[in-house]
A and B are shown apart, each in its own frame.
Chain A
Amino acid sequence: MTKEKSDNSLTEKDVSFDDLPKRKRLLNPKQSQKIGYSMLLSSIIFIVIVLGVFLGYIIINGLKSINFKFIFSSYNPTVGRYGLFPSIMGTFLLIIGSIAIAAPLGLLAAIYLTEYTKGGIIVSIIDQGINNLAGVPSVVIGVFGYALFSVYLKMGSSMIAAWLTLACMLLPTIIRTSQEALRSVPRTYREGSFALGATKWRTIRYVVLPPALPGITTGIILSLGRAAGETAAVLFVGSGVFFNRFFNGFSGTFMNLPNFLLTLYRSAGGWEQVGDVMWLTAFVLILIVFSFNAVAIVIRNRSEKQRGSY
């Protein structure tokens, strides 16, 4: 009521905007702008420093202890040989295998969910299920993978069981990010294609997928790092140690860098003896993740360039 009155008085007496009483403020707009900006700036500076120190420490220590004989030899602590190569190879194969299973499967599932389903209860249950799965701790996935692949499907402790287990872990993320990427493609593109008499599949393949590709690739990049660094889940399904060999076959146990670090940490030698190898292992692991990411980014940029900017 009072508000209405003051509104009326504004028009009747023709009070100008500048003459209206102002509310009290703690800070004037310029001050709050400054504070806001300095908060943003200081947080980014902090993050850059922390990340820089973190990465720099690993890289410097890794480079300091670099030893190609270590990197390219097999593992046998009984003769003091902590060779990295079986673990490098295992990590490499784990990444390639799990992504090769999870990426196509996840992308196809995402396409089906976004382009072909028409909503409804079942779809929203599936959607929510995927969301929840993405948050399941990897150790639980490991238990599941062990029960299903190793025991029930009799794959035992093997690289193949690890691929499938890791793929289960990565699928929710890949589906989710791919769905987001597909949804961000404007509906008008699809309409334009249908109006020309295109089938749904052709529309998806030539009009929807290309602009969604960068987002899909981002999801895969995130998954690469997780596959490379996964420790707990693969422990259940075949990550272990073997001596004097590089590779134990696809149906045999394997070594990978994260679990190798764990083994070193638990080993009798202690920090003095294995510290160097641990730095080197961490360094190599980061190097592998970065190089996979670099390849994915190059592929993404190239596909963007081909289509031209928009």
Chain B
Amino acid sequence: MNIVNKKLLAKETKEEDIVPVDMRALFKDETEIIPEKLVKKYEIRMAVKKLSHWYGNNHVLSGISLPIFKNKVTAIIGPSGCGKSTFLRDLNRMNDLIKISRVRGKVYLDGINIYSEGIDLIQLRKKIGMVFQKPNPFPMSIRDNITYGPIIHGINKAYLPGLIKSYLVKAALWDEVHDRLSESAFSLSGGQQQRLCIARALSIEPEVILFDEPCSALDPHATAKIEDLITKLKAEYTVVIVTHNMQQAARVSDFTAFFNLGELIEFNSTRDLFRSPIRKITEEYISGRFG
């Protein structure tokens, strides 16, 4: 097992207890929905296998299996209430915070099931960052928003000023805020706040970044900036984005998964899914006839 994987485990867990699986093999019996050629061609970063999710008695996801390819943008689309946000929040176990939620199935990161016992949630969330629907900067200065994550993970204070700049540059926000880092994060506009949240997510050097409808609260100009940013980020990160905006999915993503009523209906490269959807319901959705 490589060092990266070891860090995921809580200290008391022995590494021989958890053996990484071959994630390609997981999709051998899923060829009906997951095209075989994609699984063969691209490297898999995360793999979801037969994931079901309940809130109380409400069955919101049933048997989702989905590969997430390394250094690519995967978009999750579907009508409201289809479980796409729940799915995204299962990928970094954010749903653990909701007491009535129950998960069955497996989610692998680099071959290790993140739902198995002995997973260190702190390390998991360090590896899988998240940007939320509404910009949610902390009630602190812009600077402190960026340094919060690195401080948690024990970065020496001397390195923080350099980090602030590099992440704000990566999030395309540096030019707008470099002269007012001590100001409250709430003094920024909505679009700027969301880019600050992206910078904050980057600040812990995750490997995967989850975006939960990151532009739904933003105007078109701010949306364009964030989309631009997402396409740039895939060079270094693996990105999963939930969106209800199909144009956005078409613009930013390499692969698209279409969810409906808690099921994965279709998955393909974005180009193929939008040009020649296989299922009728997918075609109806992407052509705007329902949803």
The complex places the Cα of A118 from the Cα of B125 at a distance, in Å, of 22
15 A-B pairs in the complex with CB atoms less than 8 angstroms apart: A189-B136, A190-B97, A192-B200, A193-B148, A195-B130, A196-B125, A196-B148, A196-B204, A197-B126, A197-B149, A197-B152, A207-B139, A308-B140, A309-B184, A309-B186
Q: Digitize A159-194: 1 where CB-to-B-CB distance is under 8 Å, 0 elsewhere.
A: 000000000000000000000000000101111111
Q: Please state if B125 and A195 are interface contacts (CB–CB under 8 Å).
A: yes
Q: Digitize B123-159: 1 where CB-to-A-CB distance is under 8 Å, 0 elsewhere.
A: 1111001101010111111000000110011000000
Q: Please state if B139 and A310 are interface contacts (CB–CB under 8 Å).
A: yes
Q: Please state if A194 and B97 are interface contacts (CB–CB under 8 Å).
A: yes
Q: Please state if A118 and B136 are interface contacts (CB–CB under 8 Å).
A: no
Q: Please state if A188 and B132 are interface contacts (CB–CB under 8 Å).
A: yes
Can you list the 7 inter-chain pairs with the closest CB atoms, starting with the nearest? Answer: A308-B184, A188-B136, A310-B186, A195-B130, A197-B125, A197-B126, A196-B149
The complex places the Cα of A246 from the Cα of B148 at a distance, in Å, of 51
B77 within 8 A of A: no
Instruction: Choose among B92, B122, B130, B184 the residue that contacts A307 (Cβ–Cβ < 8 A).
Output: B184
The complex places the Cα of A307 from the Cα of B139 at a distance, in Å, of 7
Q: Please state if A206 and B184 are interface contacts (CB–CB under 8 Å).
A: no
What residues of chain B lie closer than 8 Å to A198, measured between beta carbons?
Answer: 122, 148-149, 152
* Residues of A within 8 A of B (CB-CB), count: 24
Instruction: Choose among B94, B121, B129, B183 the residue that contacts A308 (Cβ–Cβ < 8 A).
Output: B183
Q: Digitize B85-109: 1 where CB-to-A-CB distance is under 8 Å, 0 elsewhere.
A: 0000000101001010000000000
What residues of chain A lie closer than 8 Å to B173, measured between beta carbons?
Answer: none
The complex places the Cα of A237 from the Cα of B205 at a distance, in Å, of 60
B119 within 8 A of A: no
Q: Please state if B94 and A194 are interface contacts (CB–CB under 8 Å).
A: yes
Q: Please state if B138 and A189 are interface contacts (CB–CB under 8 Å).
A: yes
* Total inter-chain residue pairs, C-beta < 8 Å: 82
B197 within 8 A of A: yes
The complex places the Cα of A129 from the Cα of B204 at a distance, in Å, of 43
Q: Which residues of A come within 8 Å of B, CB atoms?
A: 118-119, 186, 188-199, 202, 206-207, 210-211, 307-310
Q: Please state if A192 and B140 are interface contacts (CB–CB under 8 Å).
A: no
Q: Please state if A197 and B123 are interface contacts (CB–CB under 8 Å).
A: yes
Q: Please state if A192 and B123 are interface contacts (CB–CB under 8 Å).
A: no
Given contacts A197-B152, A308-B183, A310-B184, contact A192 B125 (CB under 8 A): no
Closest to A206 in B: B148
B80 within 8 A of A: no
What residues of chain B lie closer than 8 Å to A307, measured between beta carbons?
Answer: 139-140, 184
What residues of chain B lie closer than 8 Å to A197, measured between beta carbons?
Answer: 121-126, 149, 152-153, 204
Given contacts A188-B134, A308-B186, contact A196 B139 (CB under 8 A): no
11 further A-B contacts with Cβ under 8 Å, apart from A198-B148, A308-B139, A308-B183, are A188-B134, A192-B138, A196-B125, A196-B129, A196-B148, A197-B121, A197-B124, A197-B125, A197-B149, A210-B140, A308-B141
The complex places the Cα of A308 from the Cα of B136 at a distance, in Å, of 16
Given contacts A197-B149, A206-B148, A211-B139, contact A192 B184 (CB under 8 A): no
Given contacts A197-B125, A197-B152, contact A191 B141 (CB under 8 A): no
Q: Digitize B150-193: 1 where CB-to-A-CB distance is under 8 Å, 0 elsewhere.
A: 00110000000000000000000000000000011111000000
Chain B, 180-231, CB within 8 A of any chain A CB: 183-187, 197, 200-201, 203-204
The complex places the Cα of A196 from the Cα of B121 at a distance, in Å, of 10
Closest to B187 in A: A308
The complex places the Cα of A47 from the Cα of B198 at a distance, in Å, of 51
Q: Please state if A191 and B138 are interface contacts (CB–CB under 8 Å).
A: no
The complex places the Cα of A150 from the Cα of B117 at a distance, in Å, of 52
Given contacts A119-B99, A307-B140, contact A191 B94 (CB under 8 A): yes
What residues of chain A lie closer than 8 Å to B200, measured between beta carbons?
Answer: 192, 196
What residues of chain A lie closer than 8 Å to B137, measured between beta carbons?
Answer: 192
Q: Please state if A195 and B148 are interface contacts (CB–CB under 8 Å).
A: no
Closest to B130 in A: A195
